[in-house]
Amino acid sequence: MTSESNSPSISGSKSVLYPDQINFSEKEARTCGQKCLIFLLIILFIAAAVFMALFLVYFFKYEDRDTNDICDTVNCVKTAAMLAEKMDQSVNPCEDFDKYACGNFYHTVVLDDGETRKNSFSLVSDRNNDFLKSLLAEETKPGDRDYMINAKNLYKSCMDEGKIEEIGVQPFLNTSYAKEWPTLIGENWAGEASFSLDDFIGRYMYVSADAIFSFEVTADIMNSSRHTIWLTDPMLCLSRQYLTRARNDSVLQAYEKYLKDYAVALGAAPRTAARDAAAFLDLEMQLANITVPPEGRRDYSKMYNPTTLTDLRQNYSYIDIPRGLRAAFTLANMTLEDDQNITVLFPSYFEKLEAVLATAEKRTLMNLFGFMYALKRVKGLTKQLREIDLEWAKVYTGKTQELPRWKKCLGYATSTFSFGISKEFTRRKFSEDSKHYLEVSCGNCSCLT
């Protein structure tokens, strides 16, 4: 009897493979897989060892962190208490973190008269203002610097509402600027024949009425070791955001009425005031439309257009910009040379300005300076003017009440004597240690300059 296979078999089991029947490719595949597994296990073991080592180092290095790293100075405790007062710890932070962090602040904060908003920064500002109020209300004493004497006198004269009402706006009306304002002169204004835009730019920039263009002295953004004069578009009496709206916008209508009411309060005929206010607004809208929008004011490399006074006169020959700048700097007894470095931030504005000025009436141009000067000099001075301000503010900002008088007067004083009052505030509120800390901090940042 012949067998079907030469390989012996065992009953009840699978066939047995002899060496000459082994498929070595399968053996090699299994061996390779085992090697990969062993390699991965080694990697995981090394990673676990490194992790454990780092954990032990961290644990032993910072095992006392709960006590050593807690700041328990008076200032730290006060700051922690201030933050805790604003929190609503009954709220689950995972459900409403804003309410958890600020809930109690929302419930307890109170808006003072004339305020439309309040936040953590304004609370700090309120405390600082209370201190400054007491500082300026002090009687002058021997040893006071001139700037503090003048600041205190300005604050006290501003607080004397009875005297202000007695004097009224007559000092403003006695100025040469008021006497040449067409709106106050009326229909018989005869200055058109002798009107010179360059003359009036110089005259009014001398009193900080920058109606056509403005400037700022600042560090050169490409060379911080020197200063330059930034030449820019004007600070219009109303924000560009509103001046670029449709002419029948409710805010613009309220603004036009505000200008008319101010002119009437200063002695202008109602009909003349209404006509001139409308023309003034139309001109400001034209100027606003050629200014650069906010999104075009982000890239300082594009805004860096260096030139000199001489080149400025040649590039924009239709207007004597150097003359206006020189007039402004005479306030500081400074003379600008022809090679004075200037940085034109928005050349497109000055390129488009020529067409706007060419079509504007001389009376309207003169009123542009007149309204701007008046609003800078007598805004909110008397009760009648403050009532006009409040009517406008109801539309523009939503305010329904005036700020307390002391806050207004504090604002006048701190804006007029900002550097001097800041110096006095720092001297009284900060110790020498704080000064040393700031000097060290600035020294550590020197590599950034």
Q: Which domains does the chain have, with CATH numbers?
A: 73-108 (no CATH), 110-168+406-449 (no CATH), 169-380 (1.10.1380.10)
Q: Is the pLDDT of residue 449 over 80?
A: no
Q: Predicted confidence band at 270 (pLDDT cuts at 50, 70, 90)? A: very high
For residue 382, the SS3 value is coil
User: Exposed, middle or buried: residue 69 (CB in 10 Å: 0-12, 13-18, 19+)?
Assistant: exposed
Q: Predicted confidence band at 448 (pLDDT cuts at 50, 70, 90)? A: very low
Of residues 364 and 41, the one with the higher pLDDT is 364
The amino acid at residue 157 is S
User: H or E segment at 143?
Assistant: none
Confidence (pLDDT) at 310: 95
- Please compute the mean of the pLDDT values over residues 323-348 and round it to a whole number: 93
DSSP line for 209-249? --SS-EEEEEEETTEEEEEEEEEE----SS-HHHHTS-TT-
Contact call for residues 284 and 237 (beta carbons, < 8 A): yes
Confidence (pLDDT) at 169: 96
- Calculate what percentage of the chain has a pLDDT beyond 70: 86
Distance CA 433, CA 262 (A): 51
Tens digit of pLDDT for each residue in 179-189? 999 999 999 99
Query: Which distant-in-sequence residues (6+ apart) come within 8 Å of 336 by Cβ?
Result: 309, 322, 325, 326, 329
Query: Which distant-in-sequence residues (6+ apart) come within 8 Å of 128 by Cβ?
Result: 425
Confidence (pLDDT) at 427: 87
Q: Which long-range contacts (CB under 8 A, 24 or more apart) does 222-227 make?
A: 222/304, 222/306, 224/449, 226/341
- Calculate what percentage of the chain has a pLDDT beyond 90: 58
Contact call for residues 176 and 206 (beta carbons, < 8 A): no
User: Exposed, middle or buried: residue 417 (CB in 10 Å: 0-12, 13-18, 19+)?
Assistant: buried
Distance CA 299, CA 307 (A): 19
Confidence (pLDDT) at 15: 47
Tens digit of pLDDT for each residue in 49-79? 777 777 666 665 555 555 556 787 887 888 8
Residue whose pair of structure tokens reads 């056509």 in the numeric block? 212
Distance CA 244, CA 373 (A): 23
Nearest Cα residue to 412 out of 423, 399, 421, 400: 421
Tens digit of pLDDT for each residue in 225-238? 899 999 999 989 99
Q: Predicted confidence band at 14 (pLDDT cuts at 50, 70, 90)? A: very low
Of residues 422 and 22, the one with the higher pLDDT is 422
- Report the mean per-residue pLDDT for the chain: 86
Q: Is the pLDDT of residue 250 over 50?
A: yes
Q: Are strands 341-344 and 306-308 parallel, antiparallel or unpaired?
A: antiparallel
Confidence (pLDDT) at 109: 79
Q: Alpha carbon 162 to chain centroid distance? A: 36
Contact call for residues 295 and 249 (beta carbons, < 8 A): no
SS3 content of the chain, % helix, strand, coil (to 5): 65, 5, 30
Nearest Cα residue to 203 out of 180, 220, 221: 180
Q: Is the pLDDT of residue 12 over 50?
A: no
Distance CA 182, CA 191 (A): 8
Q: Is the pLDDT of residue 318 over 90?
A: yes
Q: Predicted confidence band at 431 (pLDDT cuts at 50, 70, 90)? A: confident
Confidence (pLDDT) at 373: 95
Determine the Cα angle at 20 with ends 17 and 22, to 5°. Answer: 55
Cα dihedral: 170, 175, 180, 185 (round 10): 10
- Please compute the mean of the pLDDT values over residues 322-330 and round it to a whole number: 94
Q: Is the pLDDT of residue 29 over 90?
A: no
Nearest Cα residue to 201 out of 352, 102, 320: 320
Q: Is the pLDDT of residue 353 over 70?
A: yes
Confidence (pLDDT) at 22: 45
